[in-house]
Amino acid sequence: MVQQVAQQQPAGPVAPQHPALQKRGLAYLNPDYIQSTLRVLVPEDQLPPKPTAFNINDLDWIAIMIESRYHEPGVEMVGAYTFLDMKNFKVLKRVKNAGDRVHVVRFGREEWPEHKRRFAIGMSRDCWLSKIDLYTMQIVRQIKIGVDCRSAAYDKDGKYIIAGSKDPGHAVILDADTFKVLKVIPFLGPSKFFPTPMMGRQGAILATDLGYWLVNVKDAEMVLVIDYRSPDFPIVHVFTSYDTNSKGRSVKVQIGDKTYDVTGIGKSPHELNKLDKEGRYVAVTGQESDTITILDLKNMEIVNVVPCGKKPHPGPGTLVPNKYFLTNAIGEGVITVINLQTMDVEKYIKFPSEFPADTGGGLYSTPPLPDGTIPKGLAWFDTSFNINKGVSYFRHFNQSGVFQQLRQDTRGTIYFHKPIAPFNIVYNFTILYRKT
């Protein structure tokens, strides 16, 4: 099974036909074609050794605001990266032409050497992977890896980058410094929900400290485990929808006119969230099955399948270390609380009466700090799909683990006592930065 995923090339139409087979950009399955799109805007050896607009000691206070699309008269609507000084609350620079509908930014890690930490990467939905120099606040290198993309990630040491696509449906592994294409992995496999093998779409990508990248494959309902420590980047394990879990849990879900027993990866795996610092335990969101599947990467097994609110969407997720993981849901105002000791449901929290739960939920909640903690025990959950759109409310997690509603904000404003972690402003922009 693993070798088939790693080696099998896309074939012609497969009967019965399925929308996932109507892929675009099949030329991007060729590493040479991807490499031909590389453009070097500023050679790295021409960059200054120190930041040009801020003190180097303040690097961790520099944020990048993602603008999915910016609007200017006479200018094509494309994405932009806006640099912010979160120490002095100043806008430093806006970098345009970042690709259409910019989706994510990934920073380097604090322990990396300075020549690596000065760079970040960004990915747009039209698949332009950008190497961003934080010192001069500009894009220095770009490469187009596909047609429709969402995510990218470094490995633990910043040597390599993995990026994935929905179209044509593949993962591309590159050298982090040069953007040289090292490997292309097509997504192809069967699913319990549609047994005919098909090319899947990339969902989330996650780097763990255990030496693995995890890649969600929608349509084929798989999670690929790729070893980034090995020079040939092998797929060492594949979690599938056919797997069972160690708790023996089976969640019945209705999808269309059929009923399925979800025992492994749920339908349409979307997010991947670490449940501990190193990433041994990982939550996989099955959006169309309303489930979260918990993986154990040490033993390469599925621990449990947890029923969630309708169409769960944790985003970065809210992690209370060694205690709880919480996720929002798009389809209803229900927060699912997972107990990390039992790896099972602790409770479900409905939105307060001001936000009728049956009118929809939200996309995000408070992400943890780099050390895994939540400041002062405060958390917010957006209600972007509720009848009261754009409203966030807070809950307090006290020492005994009791969940208490703390405050509501009907003006749609999210409050922070100081810059503390990556966070998301739904619909408007995303701000990402590293200050603890």
State the pLDDT at residue 77: 60
Each residue of 221-268: pLDDT tens digit?
999 999 999 999 999 999 999 999 999 999 999 888 889 999 999 999
Angle, alpha carbons 391-396-402 (nearest 5°): 130
Asked whether residue 286 carries a pLDDT value surpassing 80, the answer given is yes
Cα–Cα distance measured from residue 99 to residue 417, given in angstroms and rounded to the nearest whole number? 33
Query: Which residues, 6+ apart, have CB-to-CB distance to 231 below 8 Å?
Result: none
Banded model confidence at residue 410, pLDDT cuts 50, 70, 90: very low
Cα–Cα distance measured from residue 10 to residue 432, given in angstroms and rounded to the nearest whole number? 36
State the pLDDT at residue 263: 97
What pairs with residue 154 in β-bridges?
161
Banded model confidence at residue 420, pLDDT cuts 50, 70, 90: very low
Each residue of 77-135: pLDDT tens digit?
678 888 988 888 889 998 988 888 888 899 999 899 999 999 999 999 999 999 999 99
For range 361-378, the mean pLDDT: 68
pTM confidence score: 0.84
Q: From start to end of 155-221, where are the E strands?
A: 160-167, 170-175, 181-186, 188-191, 194-199, 201-207, 212-218
Which helix (H) or strand (E) segment holds residue 227: the answer is: strand 222-227
Each residue of 320-337: pLDDT tens digit?
888 899 999 999 999 999
Among 81-95, 155-169, 186-200, 205-219, name the one with the lowest average pLDDT: 186-200
The candidate with the shortest Cα–Cα distance to 229, out of 214, 206, 215, 213, is 213
Average predicted confidence (pLDDT) for the chain? 82
